[in-house]
Structure 1
Amino acid sequence: MGYGFSLDDVAHLRSQAGCAALSALADLPLTPDSRLADVAAARKVAPDHFAAVLETVLLRRRAADRLDLVDGLFTADALQQATAHRVAEHRARRFAGRIAHDVTCSIGADLAKLPEGSFGSDLDPVRLAMARHNLRGSHEVLRADALRPVSRDVAVVADPARRDSAGRRTWRPEDFLPPLDDLAAAYPGRDLAVKCAPGVDFAVAPWADEVELVSLDGSVREACLWTRGLATPGVTRRATVLRSDSPEWTITAAEPDDCPVTPPDAWLVDPDGAVVRAGLVRHYAHRHGLAQLDERIAYLTGPVPPPGIRAFRVLDHGHYTEKALRAVLRAHDVGRLEILVRGLDVDPNPLRRRLKPAGSAEATVVLTRIGRTPTWVLARAERT
């Protein structure tokens, strides 16, 4: 949950004295072993607000790789839910040339990416005070309940809190704050975009015209539910892949999805998690001339992998038993072993200890199921 900031804390952090305190403490270790010394140092420079200053120094460090809010103010919960800036920028592009109302603007991280003239609202006065600091006047914010509309004729953006009243993470859309269906009902006829956790069952939001899964550098970061004029005509599901080292790309359910099912070919491909979560594995396979190993398993195979991904050059494969796999590892002199599992009830870490690989080579073993047959595939990971 983190430290509970007050409006007085925020006012101090925004003051000249607060800025000086944050600067003076910016290089503290902030480790469990240094806690007593860190607190003592903070008490000297900010006796009445030392806890708020220490928490802000810590949260700014956590935010550095995710957000591009310079000298930002955060709460722990708000920072945890804030969208990584590259994902927020991607989402904001759909609002180009439009004004949007962020009805759960929190500390303003997502609102900062929306077009000029967009504005935000929230019920939490502390987060609103932080948002005013973070936005530096670029967007207006006001106090309002997301379920009681205070705007008309503009697109609506929402990011419901995904913790219940006790602070526990929840995956039930009816427990979101505000609940998904209540949000949709509050803005009938309005273009609506709702950010959700990628693990949500999207069948619970039949009002969404398009569901987009977004990954960043291999990690699935969010789902966005788009409605009406914000949705892409003819597209019900989309996966968008953002990477720091290559151009972004997207794939949708409107593309062909016919692909064969074959034994392992020269390469094995594990599609990006956004593709898997969006249910677009077959569409991805068709686009790149790949086949499935099994109709119900997300691993793909083919003679040539897609460019710019980490793929697996197949060395050998066969029926999986621990005894058979141990013999294969010895035959290939494998000592450094990555184990990937999909479709089998196998825990990689205990298995690695039991296998005791002791050779000089490095390899990846993929454990999966082809039909009813448990299968191992020995491969070498390569960047294509």
Structure 2
Amino acid sequence: MAYGFGRADIAYLVGAAGSAALAQAARLELTPATLLRDLERLRRAYGAHAPALVETVRLRRRAAAKLADTEQWLFTDDALQQATPTAVARHRAARLAGRAVHDVTCSIGAELAELRRTCPAVVGSDLDQVRLDMAAHNLGDARNILLAKADALVPVSRAAVVVADPARRADGRRTHDPAKLQPPLPDLLAAYPGRDLVVKCAPGLDFDALDWAGEVEVVSLDGAVREACLWSAGLSEFGITRRATVLRAGRVETVTDADPSDIPEREPGEWIVDPDGAVVRAGLVRHYAARYGLWQLDPRIAYLTGDRVPEGMRGFRVLDRLDLREKTLRAELRRRDCGQLEIMTRGVDIDPDQLRRRLKPEGTRPYTLVLTRIGRTPAAFLCAATAPTS
């Protein structure tokens, strides 16, 4: 169970004694195998402060994979889980450059840390005083940031743009129901009529059910879909209602529903391409395909095909097209000395792990099976996987 920080913990951790204690705690392994021994050692040296020291060091280590320049930050477990990755927050801050912004669910300040770089005035508010204390420490003496304790559903500033990140858990479980977010999305939208809004949501949200008048942006980072972001009409480009933003290796690629979407209907090409998840979630597969001269294996399936692989994407060179029958697949895999086998599926009800066990690949060569359907016909493509192009 995660440690529950109090304001007294924060006061200790940010002071000289706490900083010195954290430096000592950071020298310990604090792994599952050593945790009890390390905790006891810290208890002897720092008494009741030991749990807060352990939790802070462990959270800082976890944060390093997600957030930049946070080696001295303070976190709670929940706040770190919900914190926007730095690359995603930086992208959003670039879109908001030059505007006054109020983050009404600022938590420990991950979003504010990027907004302060691009926006002339930034307000951060939250109902959780412990998180606000952490944000004050994390952000240091930034002169263009004001922190306040306030309810996200009660407007307290006249900032040009309101940013919100409702909690995506209800009753201890992740929810995709807009009404069960905290604060509820319908209530949040009603609280700021006529204001420019940016609302971060789970990418699994049913956008069509929202009747959102602005833009829905789905963002991925290094191949993993991170969030959907609702941009009100005043912050959107004319004619754009869907946007996929792909952040990969320091590069930004954007596809929108204003881009061309005409693609040919052809037989499968030399390669199969699995488009980035942001493109799929945003419903922009055809637009992405048109940009790179690709086409779909089937109009209702997100797999693309063509004679080349877009830069930065992973492609699968087609070696053979087979009937999707286990006996046929097993015989061909044995003939090709298949060992390591990756199985990808779309449009067919097949469990890849169970099928792999039944196919029993025992050879030495790696392959990829792409299982899908074309029209009403199930299809299997035996492929040689390649690394992403650079």
- Paired residue for 2:139? 135
Q: Look up the SS of the partner of 1:225 in the other structure.
A: strand
Q: State whether residues 101 and 159 of structure 2, in contact with CA within 8 Å, keep that contact through their aligned partners in structure 1.
A: no
Q: Secondary structure at the match of 1:379?
A: strand
Q: 1:84 to 1:363 in 2, by over 3 A?
A: same
> Structure 2 matches for 1:1-384, cutoff 5 A?
2-68=2-68, 69-114=70-115, 115-138=119-142, 139-164=145-170, 166-244=171-249, 247-382=251-386, 383-384=388-389
1:129 & 1:50 partners in 2: Cα distance? Answer: 20
Q: Secondary structure at the match of 2:169?
A: coil
Measured in 2, the distance between the counterparts of 1:30 and 1:265 equals: 52
**Matches of 2:92 and 2:2, distance apart in 1:** 28
CA contact (8 A) 2:100 2:159 kept: no
Separation (CA, whole Å) in 2 of partners of 1:84 and 1:201: 23
CA contact (8 A) 1:25 1:42 kept: yes
TM-score by length of 2: 0.95
TM-score by length of 1: 0.96
Alignment partner of 1:54: what SS? helix
Instruction: Report deviation, 1:153.
Output: 4.5
Offset at residue 260 of structure 1 (A)? 2.8
CA-to-partner distance for each residue in 1:262-303, whole Å, 9 max, x for gaps?
332101000000000000001111111111111111001111
| CA distance, structure 1, for counterparts of residue 282 and residue 212 of structure 2 | 17
- Deviations 1:48-96 (CA, angstroms, capped at 9, x unpaired): 2211111111100110111122311001011000011001000111111
User: For 1:137, what is the secondary structure of its paired residue?
Assistant: coil
Aligned equivalents of 1:105 and 1:65: distance in 2? 20
Query: Which residue identity does 2:45 align to in structure 1?
Result: V
Q: Deviations over 1:339-378 (max 9, x none)?
A: 1111111111121121111222211111111111111101
The amino acid of 1:170's aligned partner reads T
Q: Deviations over 1:29-59 (max 9, x none)?
A: 2222222202102212321221111111110
Contact 2:166 2:182 in 1 (8 A): yes
- Would you say the 8 A contact 2:7–2:130 is kept in 1? yes
Assess, with a 3 A threshold, how the Cα gap between structure 1 residues 300 and 277 changes in structure 2: closer, same or farther: same
> 1:317-358, CA deviations, whole angstroms, 9 ceiling, x for partnerless residues?
122011111111122222111111111111111211211112
Distance 1:45 1:261 in 2: 71
How much has 1:168 moved relative to structure 2? 2.4
Task: Report the alpha carbon displacement of residue 116 of structure 1 after superposing the two structures with TM.
Answer: 3.6
Gaps of 5+ in 1: none
1:184-220: CA deviation from partner (whole Å, max 9, x where unpaired): 1111111100011111111233234000001010000
Contact 2:342 2:367 in 1 (8 A): yes
Measured in 1, the distance between the counterparts of 2:367 and 2:259 equals: 34
Q: Secondary structure at the match of 1:46?
A: helix
For the 8 Å contact 1:184–1:207, the answer to whether it is kept is no
AA matched with 2:158: R
Inter-partner Cα distance in structure 1 for 2:226 and 2:83: 11
Q: Deviations over 1:228-284 (max 9, x none)?
A: 32112110000010112x622110001121223333210100000000000000111
In the alignment, the residues of structure 2 paired with residue 298 and residue 207 of structure 1 have an alpha-carbon distance, to the nearest angstrom, of 24
Alpha-carbon distance in structure 2 between the residues aligned to 1:9 and 1:177: 26
SS at match of 1:60: helix
Provide the C-alpha distance between the structure 2 equivalents of 1:150 and 1:45, rounded to a whole number of angstroms: 44
Encode CA deviations 1:115-154: one digit per residue, 9 max, x unaligned: 2421100010000000000010222210011100001142
CA distance in 2: counterparts of 1:75 and 1:250, whole angstroms: 33
Q: Structure 1: how far apart are the matches of 2:30 and 2:268?
A: 50
For the 8 Å contact 2:102–2:159, the answer to whether it is kept is no
Structure 1 residue 310, shift from structure 2 partner? 1.1
SS of residue paired to 1:285: helix
